[in-house]
Amino acid sequence: MSLLVVGSVAFDAVETPFGKCEQMLGGSASHFSISASYYTHVRIVGVVGGDFSEAEQEVFDKHGVDTSDLERIPNGKTFRWQGCYDYDLNVAHTLDTQLNVFAEFKPKLSEDSRKARLVFLGNIQPDLQREVREQIPNAELVALDTMNLWIETARDSLLRTIKGVDVVIINDAEARQLTGIPNLIKAAKTILSWGPRALIVKRGEYGAALFTTQSYFAIPAYPLESVFDPTGAGDTFAGGFMGYLSSQEKLDEAAMRRAMIFGSVMASFNVEEFGTERVRRLTHEEINDRFHTFKKMTHFDEIPFSRAVTGDR
């Protein structure tokens, strides 16, 4: 069981209609690794500045996340993002982005990191994702996330990178933008034709869908009465998905379908509070309880259809 994540570690400032937080631990690698840590051993590759304190490091330490390859620039500042949400929590409005040390980030992988069985390439420049992928040729499964910025500014590089991974994880708007095809089913088929064995499309409050060349599997989002902050939910989903897969011996479609549920379970906890606060204090009992509730919610009996005849026709 070994899982490597390469991505951003950041400080986020977020305001929603339900509250605000001036600074919290964020970034794709942070949300992913904390989520995945409930299922497997995780190693993180990223970069932080001198303002990354012992308090933030302790979050990773308490979850057994290996930060040996987390580069530290003492005289630099950690990546910072500030955003807000209106009542449509599916749409984040960026107010400020300060890349700081992340602007010059060049992933440095130790020998142990290059032996990872599973790899998640977080939302970073596609050339960097491809360089990391090439350093781990023996990985059993590699997944990739991206965003509209790279689709707009580095599409050719992104396409080359997608050809070398096993799973692509993006949202529905990005799938349409990447392919230029408004129909999601057709867009998914196009992305799969480029080489990945599976595509996961995140659909926010509407759930997620798994596409392969032979099948389609969709799940709803977990029903919540209170959604507080959706920041990092996609990476938390990916962490649950990849973390569960890392705990499995066989990485077939059946395992991916179960992993989709665990990913959705983790994301549902993430949105209940700001940042990583809710996920970082989860228990395995809470995760399993929500998984079983999810299973009941999506289960139905296979009863063949027969037309009931009542009265004269």
| Rounded distance between C-alpha atoms, residue 43 and residue 114, angstroms | 11
Nearest Cα residue to 186 out of 175, 197, 198? 175
Query: Is pLDDT above 60 for 77?
Result: yes
Tell me the C-alpha distance between 9 and 48, whole Å: 7
Under CATH, which architecture does the 3-297 domain have?
A: 3-Layer(aba) Sandwich (3.40)
pLDDT tier, 95 (very low <50, low <70, confident <90, very high otherwise): very high
Kindly report the average pLDDT of the chain as a whole number: 93
- Residue 89: predicted pLDDT: 82
Assigned token pair, 175 = 């799938």
Q: 3-state DSSP call for residue 47?
A: strand
63: its two tokens: 């979850």
pLDDT digits (tens, 9 = 90+) for 215-228: 999 999 998 888 88
How high is the pLDDT of residue 310? Answer: 54
311, pLDDT greater than 70 = no
Q: What is the pLDDT of residue 25?
A: 96
Tell me the pLDDT band of 306, cut-offs 50, 70 and 90. Answer: low
Continuous segment of H or E residues that includes residue 143: strand 141-145
Q: What pLDDT, on the 0 to 100 scale, is given for residue 87? A: 84
In this prediction, residues 163-185 reach a mean pLDDT of 96
Nearest C-alpha neighbor of 158 from the set 92, 214, 170: 170
pLDDT tens by residue, 50-61: 999 999 999 999
Per-residue pLDDT for 312 more than 60? no
245, 247, 263 from 118: Cα distances, Å:
8, 10, 16
Q: Can you give the pLDDT at residue 288? A: 95
This prediction's pTM: 0.93
Instruction: State the pLDDT confidence band at 161, using cuts at 50, 70 and 90.
Output: very high
Q: Output the DSSP codes for 115-128.
A: G-SEEEE-SS-HHH
